[in-house]
Amino acid sequence: MARSTFFYTDSRVLGGAENAMFMLLESLDRAAWRPTLLIDDVPGTEPLAERAAALEVPVRQIDPMPLGLTGARRAPALARLLRRERPDVFHAHMSSPVAAKYALAAAVLARVPAVLGTVQVGGYEPPGRSAYWQLRALARGVDRYIAVSRDIAAELIEHLGWPAEKIEVVHNAVDLERFEVEAPAGLREELGGGEGRPLVLTSARLNEQKGHPVLFEAIANVPDAVFALAGDGPDRGALEALARRLGIADRVRFLGRRDDIPQLLAACDVFALPSLYEGSSLAVLEAMAAGAPIVSSAIGGTDELIDDGHSGLLVPRGDADGLAAALKLLLGDPELRDTYAARARERVERDLTREQMAKRVTGTYAELLGEGGPSTPAETMECLPESRRNPILRRRDWRFLLAGGKLLDGWRLPRLGGARRARRRLQANGFEDVRVYWAGPWPHRPPQFWLPLDSPEAVRYLLKSRQRGSAVSAVLRWLWRFAKGAGLLAPIHVVGRPPGAAPDDELPLSPSARLLLLTGGHRSINKAVGLAFESGIETPSAAVKFARVAEAEPGLEREAAVLRRLNAERPALPGVPGLRGEGRRDGRLALVEEAMEGCSMLDVIDPGNFEELAMGVTRVLIELGRGGGAADPRWRERLVEEPLGWFERAFEPVLEPEAIATARDLLSGIGEPAPAIEHRDCSPWNVLLTAAGESILLDWEAAEPEGLPVLDLVYFLANCAFVLDHSIESGRTRESYAQSLDPSTPHGRVASKAIDEYLTALEIIPDDFRRLRLLCWIVHSRSDYRHLQLETPGTPTPDALRGSVFLGLIEEELQRA
């Protein structure tokens, strides 16, 4: 059944922000979402009602709610309307953070299940003290704010203090099909363009925001070109007078409001928009979709759509001379125009279509309505940003606890004896294998672990692993044990198998085994790890890795293949866990591996033991360096040229041409090294230190069994330095890396000793080591790029690419070349 969705706007004009709202209305799947538009019952809103009628969207007119006391007095009437109509979603479209505040407050008071606001414009005047605190209070009740640019999102968080976890960025979008047109015959000549007479188009309302006076100053310095202005507004008379004063009136065409923007864009040579501020400009998006070369202001929002010098030209806001220079550059270079236009169009096709935008927004609706529960559909999960998707998945990790199991009961607050009563009731109703789990450690956050309370072995293991020496931690453990004994723990989840249901997996685990599930990963692609406990045995009998999402399965498949091969070919190879088998649970791939007892190097490494720990791992890597099998005649193509080509394509927007040329020249000089087993994620958090002093490498999903030497050692030593000097948190990874290359520094001394032993053992010459050191970061740049993609779905922006940790290390290596 379609869910009722009320849209609201307090706008009285049909501009870019309103067109963005109507594009969303048009793109909704009416089988899933039934929209109604609320608009103010005042003269001037007729164009909004007509546009809604054309889309077959019902319109309800309500009393306007201005920002003063009048608006506050009218909010209860809207709340009563919403309580009667009971919509599932209330979505306000806001021209500024202050707009629609009383409408949103009414929706919160009416307890609409999902209340959202989209903020379309940034660069606003900060609200007064009273409005500031009103908005802060309102933000606690609104479920989600959608910002149409990262710049607006930053303003909402930094200047208004709105909760970051409630703010999501969804750029405006465009209908590609509408702009796949050609200019009608004679249109260009009608506008004044023609042979030897370039045509520049600006489509925007004629008001102060759009910066037309700056454009007019630039026109005076761009002779011969004709400028067509599509749009109307309050400043038309003043702009016509300014054009006459500047002597450019004969080259400026005031076209008024036009409905043929796609045809106008097809007819022009360049699109120009000198706005003083924007949100996510529909005019720029339309020019991108039409394949028109773009010159625009370098303002928040627009600089997220156009990559300056790659897909268009951006000039400082209000800089008429810079605007004129950019226009002359493009008008004088047809090849550059074609290049920029093609790249801008590609960006739209990749990330900014109306279908993609609608999927993101309705995904947010479904997430809020489903409250992150198991009812959230898979297609919705796929389109959620990582900041939303990961917490939802971590709350659903109970699906891995029991083969064929279901979540049967649960409570967030303490319930005296609740677990005992729930177990008896469920068993009496025929449910099998009923198990009780504490999802800890905090009830208001996604669980870090799921502890089986009916396994004393798992309970003791977890308490021991989290044991701290302070008196406070001892008191907390005593309180926890008291709450457990009294049946007052929370949150509690009860899982079991429905009557007659059979286990749905074939994992090599005992049916009686209880899983202590560790789910502390920061990303949805991180695996959930289950430690299997048998009754009467204090240590785990196996470790099980579960893929939360489909994207994590290829990595687990690769880990299984690598471990299977290494266990068979070199069963005594140090540092490698044993693979016991694989299967599926809840439709996801799972691996069962040998359980390894020990502690993570990340928890114990410090400057005092760094040398001892580093040398232990170095000796494991030396053994892996001797075990890569037969030489592959295609090794250079596979291990050097392929990652270099990928790096060049992915980071092209921020790379200087000479950087790639230098890298190619350096890497071409690598001699033919003996094959090595590469772990490819050898870092302190993936090294387990056993009680016997051995170093075990965990997480083999990126491994390359016929790889190259050196790369793992470089990666390990650098990440140790980053951990010891906290450079990842401070953003000083490049400086830390440079110091680790200097043998006179503490970290550099240890690194130098480890490298000398490694190179001597494997007979690697120093020149090859330096070249492979560069290759290490080129190979690992792929994972950095993937993390950027997860933060904001789509292609990472140039600014995001420039912030890549590994790009900085590559630049450091090239600088030393």
> Which residues lie closer than 8 Å to 66 by C-beta, 6 or more apart?
none
What does the alpha-carbon distance between residue 409 and residue 15 come to, in Å, rounded to a whole number?
A: 50
What does the pLDDT read at residue 372?
Answer: 43
Does one domain contain both 138 and 186? no
Does one domain contain both 589 and 697? no
What does the alpha-carbon distance between residue 425 and residue 422 come to, in Å, rounded to a whole number?
A: 5
313-315 β-sheet, strand order: 252-256, 226-230, 199-203, 270-273, 294-297, 313-315
Closest CA relative to residue 691, chosen from 604, 628, 782, 624: 604
pLDDT digits (tens, 9 = 90+) for 627-659: 766 778 889 999 999 999 999 988 988 888 888
What does the alpha-carbon distance between residue 269 and residue 293 come to, in Å, rounded to a whole number?
A: 7
What does the alpha-carbon distance between residue 96 and residue 121 come to, in Å, rounded to a whole number?
A: 6
What does the pLDDT read at residue 371?
Answer: 43
What does the pLDDT read at residue 629?
Answer: 67
Question: What share of the chain in percent tops pLDDT 70?
Answer: 95
**Domain stop point among 561, 593, 625:** 593
Number of domains in the chain: 4
Tell me the whole-structure pTM to 2 decimals. 0.60
What does the pLDDT read at residue 382?
Answer: 57
Does one domain contain both 709 and 632? yes
Asked if the structure places residue 368 within a domain, the reply is no
Higher-pLDDT residue of 12 and 238 is 238
**Domain stop point among 558, 593, 628:** 593
Asked if the structure places residue 363 within a domain, the reply is no
In terms of DSSP bridges, do strands 114-119 and 89-94 run parallel, antiparallel, or are they unpaired?
parallel
Q: What's the token pair of residue 104?
A: 């949103």
Does one domain contain both 655 and 565? no
pLDDT digits (tens, 9 = 90+) for 220-234: 999 889 999 999 999
What does the alpha-carbon distance between residue 9 and residue 37 come to, in Å, rounded to a whole number?
A: 8
CA 191, 194, 197, 201 dihedral sign is positive
What does the pLDDT read at residue 525?
Answer: 84
What does the pLDDT read at residue 120?
Answer: 86
Asked if the structure places residue 364 within a domain, the reply is no
pLDDT digits (tens, 9 = 90+) for 666-680: 999 999 888 999 999
Q: What's the token pair of residue 495?
A: 């899982």
CA 790, 393, 547, 519 dihedral sign is positive
Does one domain contain both 572 and 639? no
What does the pLDDT read at residue 374?
Answer: 43
CA distances from 182 to 267, 284, 290 (A): 8, 18, 9
Asked if the structure places residue 378 within a domain, the reply is no
Tell me what the mean pLDDT of segment 190-217 comes to.
89
CA distances from 744 to 719, 741, 751 (A): 19, 9, 11
What does the pLDDT read at residue 222?
Answer: 92
pLDDT digits (tens, 9 = 90+) for 78-112: 999 999 999 999 999 987 777 888 999 999 999 99
pLDDT digits (tens, 9 = 90+) for 409-421: 888 788 888 888 9
pLDDT digits (tens, 9 = 90+) for 757-813: 999 999 999 999 999 999 999 999 998 888 787 666 567 888 888 889 999 999 999
Does one domain contain both 763 and 642? yes
What does the pLDDT read at residue 794?
Answer: 60
User: How long is the chain?
Assistant: 817
Mean pLDDT of the chain: 88
pLDDT band at 70 (very low <50, low <70, confident <90, very high): confident
Half-sphere exposure of 741 (CA within 13 A, CB side): 16
pLDDT band at 385 (very low <50, low <70, confident <90, very high): low
pLDDT digits (tens, 9 = 90+) for 690-747: 888 899 999 999 999 899 999 999 999 999 999 999 998 888 999 999 999 999 999 9
What does the pLDDT read at residue 469?
Answer: 61
CB distance 285 to 352 below 8 Å: yes
Give the domain extent around 473.
Answer: 385-593
Q: Is the pLDDT of residue 580 over 90?
A: yes
Does one domain contain both 508 and 546? yes
Closest CA relative to residue 548, chosen from 790, 378, 789, 366: 378
> Which residues lie closer than 8 Å to 473 by C-beta, 6 or more apart?
467
List helix spans (H) across 553-690.
Answer: 553-569, 601-604, 610-625, 635-636, 642-650, 657-667
pLDDT band at 383 (very low <50, low <70, confident <90, very high): low
Asked if the structure places residue 373 within a domain, the reply is no
Question: What share of the chain in percent tops pLDDT 90?
Answer: 55
CATH number of the domain bearing residue 58:
3.40.50.2000
What does the pLDDT read at residue 373?
Answer: 42
Asked if the structure places residue 8 within a domain, the reply is yes
**Domain stop point among 146, 169, 192:** 169
Tell me what the mean pLDDT of segment 582-600 comes to.
90
Q: Is the pLDDT of residue 379 over 70?
A: no
Asked if the structure places residue 669 within a domain, the reply is yes
Does one domain contain both 585 and 727? no
CATH number of the domain bearing residue 704:
3.90.1200
Does one domain contain both 336 and 444? no
Asked if the structure places residue 371 within a domain, the reply is no
Backbone angles phi, psi at 485, to 5 degrees: -65, -30
Q: What's the token pair of residue 741?
A: 């290359």
Does one domain contain both 448 and 468? yes
CB distance 580 to 541 below 8 Å: no
* Site of tokens 């709202």: 21
Distance of CA 615 to the CA centre of its chain: 37
Does one domain contain both 750 and 791? yes
Tell me what the mean pLDDT of segment 500-506 comes to.
76
Does one domain contain both 308 and 410? no
